[in-house]
Amino acid sequence: LSDKDARILQLEADLAGLEQKYMKEVTLRGLELEQASQAPKELRLTTLEKNSSDMEKLIDEAKTEKLKHMEELHRCQKSVAELEAKVKQLQTQLVEKEAMVKVFQRSPLATARSSSLHCLCHSPLHSPHTSLISPLGWPGSSQVCESSSSESYREFATMRHVKTGSSSAVELEHKKTMEEDVLSKVQSLNFENKNDSEDEGKLFHV
């Protein structure tokens, strides 16, 4: 019996040791499993964090590009508004200059000039001349016609003053000077209208 009791005590001690060893193995295995399960989670978390940072960068870049496009659109709209205002201003100036040209054409000086040309063409003291019949000083007439018409004016004024005494060469010369000033102004206005039309065409083209 004593041998059996000793054998039982020894077996119980061995059983306790095996139980402790089993518990240690279970604990170690649990730790290994936890580490193995946590590694993919950490990897996934790292990947997600990286992806989120990349997405934030992409969002920031998209916002920056959008702001640039908005600024460019604002500049384009501003330039278009400025061009439209300039076109309206040019149109207004063109209308004003056309009205001024019409006023100059209908002025008493232009009427007196046409009547004087008619008198010159039908006067027995001076034969009809192409330089007197053509519209002097207006766009399209040559410099030769203008110079010849000036000489014809002077000759007619001198002849009429000497033969009839009904008109003064000084008065006719003064009248001619005034008419030439008006015609030069009309020519400059027509030239400015042409330039304004070209500028307006360029603006519409832009």
pLDDT along the chain (206 residues), means of 10: 88 91 90 76 79 87 92 93 94 90 76 58 47 41 44 45 44 64 71 63 52
pLDDT for the residue numbered 145: 42
Which of 93, 118, 151 is the last residue before a domain boundary? 93
Query: Beta-carbon neighbour count of residue 118 at 10 Å?
Result: 12
pLDDT at 173: 61
Domain enclosing residue 189, as ranges: 107-205
Residues 80, 132, single domain; the answer is: no
Q: What's the total number of domains in the chain?
A: 2
**Pick from 147, 145, 157, 148: which is nearest to 120 by CA?**
157
pLDDT score for 71: 93
**86 & 115 share domain:** no
How far is residue 72's CA from residue 151's CA, in Å, rounded to a whole number?
Answer: 63
Check residue 148 and give its pLDDT: 45
- Residue 171: what pLDDT? 56
* Together in a domain, 122 and 84: no
